[in-house]
Homo-oligomer: A and B are copies of this chain.
């Protein structure tokens, strides 16, 4: 196990009706003038936004609103938010929505208190030294941003997707009510589930030895997702199944399952070019890429893939040929993704094999290598896209 620090100070408020405590928690963490930040009209139509406002009003807290955050959130909306916050002297940002909305709120939170262009933080030209406090009311289990210090934003000019991370961006509080997901379409639910599982796998595939506790915690989240995702898709208003999936999504990404070990985020990176080029859902792109990445790298550490196959997917160990077991685990994962309605190859995703050179070019690794479980060259990445293009069950 490697040395590590783990700091997750977010106050998580979980359960039925908890959005009605938004005002109480904004007050607890010192907010007096709030920007309510949200995405689509669904939070308006469902009445959620009204309940949040009522809760703020009950505590005598003033607010302004900014909606319209898109999936894969854009820099343009963040500039708008920064300007509004400055004009209105906002001192607290409340995100009401999913991961895109939270990531946009985080961009605003660091931009408001910075003299330069907020994009500097995403280009590693500036370090986060202060940020407005933020809170979240989560509407989809997926990104884990409600419990992380990370934010991923797309610059419209060139469609560049970049990220920033700082403990200062960890939400002061996050409100998680599983009921808010009852109306989510099956496809979006499955995309969220895939993203959650990817967050775990990207920690699971490590070169660090002696990591039994985090291995087991990773497997705990994966086993939960394998049980709960089909239940949620079959029965969208199943509170218990939604609740398990929602808390699993937070645990998957606040890093408690990933501390003290090297991690591998290449699948996320390789996928980002797909959602960048085709504007597909991040989870759907991951469903296509992640098993392909596994097939490309499993020989690097067959034992680790055998562990995944036997502990997570219940495959039987082929003692004479463990590689068979490793491959069976990867097949089981792809089958699971298919069963929950995810695409498993380029055709199902709507991507084109002839675009592979463009995707590799945009990845931008040049003659170098990525970091991770297996360091990848441009040629390796092209090969992974190719496996993904043709994958079958």
Contact = CB atoms under 8 A, between A and B. Distances in A.
A247 interface: yes
> Which of A7, A220, A228, A260 counts the most chain B CB atoms within 10 A?
A220
Interface string A1-25: 1111111111111111110000000
A251 B15 contact: no
A244 interface: yes
A1 B243 contact: yes
Contacts of A50: none
Interface string A203-217: 000000111111011
A1 B244 contact: yes
Nearest to A248: B213
A213 B176 CA distance: 15
Contacts of A1: 15, 239-240, 243-244, 247
30 contacts: A1-B239, A1-B240, A1-B244, A1-B247, A3-B15, A3-B18, A4-B15, A5-B12, A5-B13, A6-B14, A7-B9, A7-B12, A14-B260, A15-B260, A209-B240, A210-B243, A210-B244, A211-B244, A212-B224, A212-B244, A213-B220, A216-B223, A217-B220, A217-B221, A217-B251, A220-B220, A243-B260, A247-B259, A251-B256, A256-B256
* 3 residue pairs, one from A and one from B, having the closest CB atoms: A210-B240, A3-B15, A216-B220
